[in-house]
Amino acid sequence: MPAPMAAISFRNVAKTYGNARHAVRALDDVSFEIEPGEFFGLLGPNGAGKTTLISILAGLARASSGSVEVLGHDVVRDYATARLSLGIVPQELVFDPFFSVRETLRIQGGYFGVRRNTRQSEAWIDELLEHLGLSDKADANMRQLSGGMKRRVLVAQALVHRPPVIVLDEPTAGVDVELRQTLWQFITRLNHEGHTVLLTTHYLEEAEALCGRIAMLKQGKVVALDRTAALLAGTSSGVLRFRLTTPLPSALAAQARVTGEVVQINARDAREVETILATLRKAGAEPEDLEIGRADLEDVFLEIMHGGAQAAV
């Protein structure tokens, strides 16, 4: 009996760009599976290999070794079927400036064998336009759209053939708050209806809110893979947050996350909070708006990416 089929399966995927003299190892032995119906997050810093992995999944790049399947279809040997199961929102904005939004969606549907101009296909296009806030732009030329609107069209394009597996490579980069909310409502609805979702994003609060499981890539390797709740529970700490108008004492610099005047430092228990406050006092620094909070996914991410920075606290 074969095992229940994964929505996406990556097996020992490696990818090297360039030649023997100058090689970039973008992916290094990546293996994991995404089950049907999952909302799965793929996270990692710039250059970690996320888009490369998605390009291989989409058949736009070839793995140097290893294999990838979509619903049991190998993306190389069985490309057409695998591709038909996928709706991919690419990270880069690519579009044809000569068509209107509606034409762009019709053409895209045509590539995937959606029968044109039937009542059903038009109703779905209308629904996509509405959910993505594009109804009033349906007849506008692609080149007349703003950057964020073009990205909305990319999302609509990916969904036009109702793919069972939806892959979003930073879909909310440059997208305003309102659309982000409507986009996530819509994608969540599709997920509840059974579509599998693979998401990459640098907005970790999005990943935390949406993804049931998360894989983290670092320099082409999977360095964490777990349920989101387990990743959050596995972090040792709470977080001490405060505002500082003077420079941060150098003794705290290595363990702190600084955004403008706001400083965050992981603290496992009251004793660590005391130690941090004592260090601040000794340096004559006066923290304002002090609060102790729960660690979020961003803390977990930084802890994992900086390999044990937490242990040094």
Ligand X SMILES: Nc1ncnc2c1ncn2[C@@H]1O[C@H](COP(=O)(O)OP(=O)(O)OP(=O)(O)O)[C@@H](O)[C@H]1O
Binding site for ligand X (CB under 6 A): 17-18, 24, 26, 44, 46-52, 91
In the bound complex, what is the minimum distance in angstroms from residue 261's beta carbon to ligand X?
27
Count of chain residues binding Mg ion (CB under 5 A): 3
Q: How far is the CB of 38 from ligand X (least distance, A)?
A: 20
Q: How far apart are alpha carbons 76 and 267 in whole angstroms?
A: 48
Does 91 participate in binding Mg ion (rule CB under 5 A)?
A: yes
Rounded Cα–Cα distance for residues 302 and 313 (Å): 14
Residue 55 binds to Mg ion (criterion: CB under 5 A):
no
Q: How far is the CB of 15 from ligand X (least distance, A)?
A: 8
Q: CA distances (Å), 159 to each of 106, 189, 220, 247, 253, in order?
A: 12, 13, 28, 49, 45
Give CA–CA dist 151/212, Å, rounded.
25
Query: Across the beta sheet with 238-243, what order do the strands follow?
Result: 256-259, 262-267, 238-243, 288-294
Q: Which is nearer to ligand X, 52 or 264 (CB)?
A: 52
Q: What region does 160 belong to: left with phi over 0, alpha with psi -120 to 50, or beta?
A: alpha
- The listed partner (ligand X, Mg ion, none) that binds 229, CB under 5 to 8 Å by sort, is none
Minimal distance, residue 313 CB to ligand X, in Å: 28
- Strand 8-18: give its sheet, edge to edge: 23-34, 8-18, 65-70, 73-74
Span between the terminal Cα atoms of the chain, in Å: 50
Which does residue 46 bind out of Mg ion, ligand X, none, counting CB within 5 to 8 angstroms by kind?
ligand X
> 18 or 293: whose CB is closer to ligand X?
18
Stretch binding Mg ion (CB under 5 A), from 4-12, 45-53, 258-266, 301-309: 45-53
104 binds, among ligand X, Mg ion, none (CB under 5 to 8 A by kind): none
**Part of the chain binding Mg ion (CB under 5 A), chosen from 46-54, 119-127, 218-226, 247-255:** 46-54
- Least Å distance between CB 277 and Mg ion? 40
Residue with tokens 């793929």: 42
Compute CA distances 85 → 155, 164, 183, 267, 294, whole Å: 15, 6, 21, 45, 39
Nearer to Mg ion, 26 or 156 (CB): 26
- Partner in contact with 24, chosen from ligand X, Mg ion, none, beta carbon below 5 to 8 Å by kind: ligand X
Taking CB within 5 to 8 Å according to partner kind, which of Mg ion, ligand X, none is near residue 49? ligand X
Q: Which residues make up the interface to Mg ion (CB under 5 A)?
A: 50-51, 91
